[in-house]
Structure formats: C-alpha cells, structure tokens
Copies of this chain bind each other. A is one copy, B any other.
C-alpha cells in the first residue's frame, strides 16, 4: 500500500463513525502534515456509500493540533440536490474537534469548456535537480520538489527586505502514485508557507483554513498516471500575524487541475 493510502486509511468504528491514525511518514513540526489531514477528511466522503459524483470543492479548517495516534471522523451529507451534494465532516480526538471540512461533490454534465487561465512557462522536470530533503521534516521526504522559480532560500534572520512570494515548481510523490482526489487534495497543501520565501527564515506557522477547487473529474485525473504536476504559489497580504496564499496545480500538458487558497497564522 502506498504511504499516502496508509496515512489516509479510515476504518468503520462503532457505532457509526470512522477511525484513522496519524502517520509518522507524513509528520510535520508538531503534528501531521495538513495536506494529509485534509485528504483524510476528503476520503471520508469519497469512501461514503451515498456519495454522488466527484468532489469539486473542499474547505478544511485546522481547528486544533492533531496529536500522534488515533482519531475519529464523523461525516454526514448536509444536503443532496439533483446534481450537487454537500457534506460536513469533523475529525476528533476525544472531545476536541481537530479539523472540520465542508466538501461538495457534483455530477458534472458535459457541455462547453474554456480555460481562461494560462499555464506558466516551465522547462521539463527531467532536467531539474530535486530539492534535497535530507534532514527535513518527515513529510517533505515523501515528495519531490523541482523548483523552476522561487526556490526556498534561507538566511540566518530576516534582513528587512521582503522577497517575492511566488514559486513555480514541479511536484510529485517520492514513491510513484497514480493521481486521484486524495493525491490532488494532499498536493494543494504542498506549497511551503509563502512567508518563508518572503522573509527567508523559518519559524512556526499554522494553516487555519484551506479551500481547494477541483477542475477535473476522476477519469481525467486517473488518465494522468503518475506524472509530476506543475505548481504555482503566491501570496497577497501578510498582516498582523495572518497571511493568505494561493496556488494552482497544472498537468504537464497545460490543464489546470486544481486551484487552492489558504489562510495561515504565524508568530515571530
């Protein structure tokens, strides 16, 4: 089983909930990598017998630190319409809700398509050396990062001059894995905190909420196989301990697969 499938595995628990377990393979500073927590909540919907259609939108809120060990997930359909279905999920450890999510699935009809956004120019990933991941947090070592632009450059301290928040890079799993929504959700959170790029220093940050929109159906995703995705990330505002970041995930042939935003808190 791929480490990501193991990390997001949910089994039925009594009476009606689901049970999962944090994965050491995707450990971050003080808890599991948020992308895997988000993918676990998405999976509670994907695996649900009453799901209709593919996910098109997911908002995941990181409400408390997730401790190493087991957790429970409760998921319910809030509303099932003719073509759109709304879900609400909570991940709990004891009495504490550590994450919650609203997730939307839709049966898409097949009409007109138009991609207004244009893919960034980028050389083939084969010619780019992956970022060294030795000594990094565990989860980083589960992925490959091939920077086209805006690599993570660190200094001993912030020199007072904000650098660009933008990065463009090829991303993939270190152990090849075929694309599905669990993978796509995980990768929506795979962009380093933009404040690290702007200040060129590392310090504690925490995503409080992330939203992902999926612009592809399950069949289109599966057709990608295990290819790398091209990611672009940027930020708008860093203010009083909170910043936003946004990102896009592109297929190698220039199709926009997902757009995502998140809000992050920092202390310095």
Contact = CB atoms under 8 A, between A and B. Distances in A.
Interface in A199-253: 208-209, 211, 213, 215-217, 234-242, 244, 246, 248
Contacts of A246: 246, 259
Identical chains bound together, number: 2
Contacts of A215: 236-237, 239, 242, 244
Interface string A105-125: 010111111111100000000
Contacts of A152: none
A244 B100 contact: no
B263 A104 contact: yes
A78 B97 contact: yes
A174 interface: no
A115 to B, nearest CB: 5
Nearest to A217: B240
Nearest to A234: B116
A113 B165 contact: no
A241 B63 CA distance: 33
Interface stretch (A13-21, A81-89, A140-148, A182-190): A81-89
Interface stretch (A33-41, A54-62, A127-135): A54-62
A44 interface: no
B261 A114 contact: no
A240 B61 contact: no
Contact of A86 (B63, B108, B110, B213): B63
Interface SS majority for chain A: strand
Contacts of A261: 211, 213, 259, 261
A47 interface: no
B241 A109 contact: yes
Contact of A263 (B115, B164, B165, B213): B213
A61 B164 CA distance: 33
A25 B81 CA distance: 27
A116 B259 contact: no
A212 to B, nearest CB: 10
Nearest to A255: B237
